[in-house]
Amino acid sequence: MPEGGLLHHLIREKYTRQDLAAIKQVLDAHKTHEITPVAHGLFAASPSQADNSLTGYQNVWVRDNIIVANSFRLRGILPPAIACIQGLTRFFERQRVRFEEIISDEKRMLKANVNRRPHIRFMAATLDELPEKWAHAQNDALGEALWFRFVLANERILPVTHEDWKIYQLFPAYFEAIAYWNDEDSGAWEEGLKVNNSSVGAVVAGLEELQRYIYSAVAKKELGAKSLAAIDKQKLEDLISKGRQRLNLTLPFESPPERLADSALLLLIHPLGTVTSRHLQDAILNLVQARLRGEVGIKRYADDSYFCQDYDEWFAPDQMCVDFSDALAFRNAFAQPGCEAQWCIFDPLLSIIYGERYLADRTDNRSLDKQIYYFNRSLRQMTPKGECPELYYLKNGKYTPNAHTPLAWTQANQALALYLLEKSVRE
């Protein structure tokens, strides 16, 4: 386990406000949580990557940007959250034809060609699509974008304009056209096609947030009854119901029987709030902790071969981060049992989830203990330079951070984890 580098001497089993202030001072000095947009309010996946990096992490992922923007929102830093969703909306405007083609495809054949679907990875500076083949069938990313746009609307942070509405009213029709509740997509990890509950749940969250908006007084004021009539309310209710039925039958598993435990399901607890049952939340949380928690970080899923042991020895720099969605068997052949990469995005996420539980019930000391435990694990994952990595992988038998350091997603999660722990200690 990494020793926490420059913060090792500040890590505690219990914290005071002064303890956390000392940690924050060090993090601020090292700009650990500084995430700066590249263009159009959008964030590169890893700000350390050059414009021509072979990793591709200098580009924008819809999913990552929602996580980063939502972290800003929950910490009360609204301008970057607003600018980010506005940038994503402009990108979706340029993807309008892709939405409309799949919606109007009566034979439902186009969705099988994932590059005909709306793209979820693109260039920040120009909002242009990237030329290489990619696993763009990622319903979770689109569901999360819909969710976040209407969270901002429902919280009266960002009004919905008529131009915005022209884009986002397409989302329900698109999700219906692909039959999202049983659609095989590449999910959060951009890999082989299967029905993923983390994707179904993200779409449910987006549709439910949209539903709250169209029934609200603020929506009628912003758009008027005529514009809102573009959404068939009964059809929207049916769409949500189909997703909920899938989740009710198959959670807490990701894609049974193929995959059971998957850390992507944590996103249905936070930030999406799709899973509200304490019993079902515990089932997801316990599966992740029992099956995927490692010495250093947390695995995405068992037998994950991305950045398996000595990954950079088996794959050239221009092959390490390519689209493996059609070649997973080849990549999997290199992985040894128990040598999965251990990611740094999940420990702060677990700290957030348990922190929200404690803040809702201050008699829940077990949640406070877990909030601190996972926060401390996140601090220990930082590099000696105070950076938040994407993951640690086994290189020559030693866990080593990969080159995607810092990762904006990890930075955003850790910043929010610290913010919530400050509230737990202060309030």
- In this prediction, residue 427 has a pLDDT band, given cuts at 50, 70 and 90, of low
The residue ranking higher by pLDDT, 106 or 182, is 182
* Residues pairing with 342 in the sheet: 392
113-122: list long-range contacts, CB under 8 Å, 24+ apart: 114/186, 114/325, 117/178, 118/92, 118/142, 118/174, 119/95, 120/61, 120/62, 120/63, 121/56, 121/59, 121/60, 121/61, 121/62, 122/59, 122/60, 122/91
**Strand-strand pairing, 398-401 and 391-395:** antiparallel
Indicate if the alpha-carbon torsion angle 328, 329, 335, 340 is positive or negative: positive
* Rounded-to-integer distance, Cα 72 and Cα 234, Å: 34
Residue 92 pLDDT > 60: yes
Helix (H) or strand (E) holding 76: none
CB atoms within 10 A of CB 66: 30
Q: Which of 392, 376, 417 is nearest to 11 (CA)?
A: 376
pTM recorded for the entire structure? 0.97
Residue 331 pLDDT > 60: yes
Q: Which of 205, 133, 142, 129 is nearest to 171 (CA)?
A: 142
Residue 132 pLDDT > 80: yes
CB 274 within 8 A of CB 204: yes
Residue 3 pLDDT > 90: no
Residue 323 pLDDT > 90: no
Q: What is the pLDDT of residue 33?
A: 98
For the stretch 238-286, pLDDT in tens is: 999 999 999 999 999 999 999 999 999 999 999 999 999 999 999 999 9
- In this prediction, residue 327 has a pLDDT band, given cuts at 50, 70 and 90, of confident
Helix (H) or strand (E) holding 116: none
Residue-averaged pLDDT of the chain? 96
What residue spans define the domains of the chain? Answer: 1-30+294-427, 37-291
Is it true that the peptide bond before 348 is cis, omega within 30 degrees of 0? no
Residue 98 pLDDT > 70: yes
Give the contacts of 15 (CB within 8 A, at least 6 positions apart).
Answer: 372, 421, 425
Q: Is 408 exposed, middle or buried (0-12, 13-18, 19+ CB in 10 A)?
A: buried
- In this prediction, residue 318 has a pLDDT band, given cuts at 50, 70 and 90, of confident
CB 423 within 8 A of CB 414: no
> Terminus-to-terminus CA distance in the chain, angstroms?
32
* Rounded-to-integer distance, Cα 9 and Cα 217, Å: 52
- In this prediction, residue 6 has a pLDDT band, given cuts at 50, 70 and 90, of confident
Eight-class DSSP state of 183: -
Eight-class DSSP state of 1: -
The gap from C-alpha 280 to its chain's centroid, in whole angstroms, comes to: 20
Residue 226 pLDDT > 70: yes
* Rounded-to-integer distance, Cα 103 and Cα 101, Å: 5
Helices vs strands, H then E, count in the chain: 16, 5
- In this prediction, residue 306 has a pLDDT band, given cuts at 50, 70 and 90, of very high
What is 37-291's CATH number, 3.40.640.10, 1.50.10.10, 1.10.357.10, 3.40.50.720?
1.50.10.10
Residue 2 pLDDT > 80: no
